[in-house]
Amino acid sequence: MFPHFEERRSDSPFVERIWMTQSDRAGSFTSISTILWSMVISKWRGHITISLHGPETGATCKEFPAEGEWFGIAFKLGTFVPHISPSSLIDGNIVLPSTSGRSFSLCHSAWQFPNYENADTFVDQLVRSCVLVHDPVMSAIYQGQSPSLSLRTIQYRVLHSTGLSQRTIRQIERARYAATLLKQGVSIFDTVYEAGYSDQPHLTRSLKHFIGLTPAEIPLTPIISMMQ
């Protein structure tokens, strides 16, 4: 696992959170499903890269090298790069080309690599250049509001800005909520009820797929999604 994991909230309305970590030794971790995508900057053996990591629709086991450093910007639901189809990022990543040891290319422009401290300024620059946009309909939906749009229009806007269907988003969020309840010591029986599962086997199937663990394993196992 990562003994030096740190995260913070952002002042940007486009960003969910900003995180950074580093490794002393090589290892692996369980990355749980997430509806968000992230920009991740990696440093290893003097080499720096930046990549776009999409939402993850299933839990995966990931390995990491010794003495690596990572810093990431997780974007709010509905934030996307118009020049890159959100669906192309689902369960995958795109490494952006480096133009030098200090900059990279995105949307035919060169950008300096951001860091944990200036991430908000970097995001503001992307927004002002229209490299990064946000669909306001997604904010309303995520807050439980009902936009005055047809169901078909809403479904299109959700898929267009996230690459995910509303059904998949609900499934992932429910599984993450259930995992949080179990981590807090809520019983499996009560978690089934609180998270809205039909029965315990339904909960177990969902958590095995989206979290990678059974309900009984979750309170005992460290889990993390670096692209939370």
Residues 175, 197 contacting (CB under 8 angstroms): no
Q: Note the pLDDT of residue 144.
A: 66
pTM of the predicted protein model: 0.90
Can you tell me the mean pLDDT for 86-95? 95
Model confidence at 225: pLDDT above 60: no
Give the model's pLDDT for residue 226. Answer: 42
The predicted-structure confidence for 158-179, as pLDDT tens digits, reads as follows: 999 999 999 999 999 999 999 9
Confidence class for position 228, pLDDT limits 50, 70, 90: very low
Radius of gyration, alpha carbons of the chain: 18
**Minimum mean pLDDT range among 31-35, 89-93, 137-141, 204-208:** 137-141
Q: Which segments of 89-199 are extended strands (E)? A: 93-95, 103-106, 109-112, 133-134
Inform me whether the pLDDT recorded for 2 exceeds 70. no
Please report, for the chain, the start and end positions of each structural domain, with discontinuous segments joined by +: 6-134
**Predicted local distance difference test score (pLDDT) of residue 127:** 97
**In this structure, are residues 135 and 78 in contact, taking their beta carbons and an 8 Å threshold?**
yes
- If we measure between CA atoms, which residue out of 124, 157, 127 comes closest to residue 140? 157
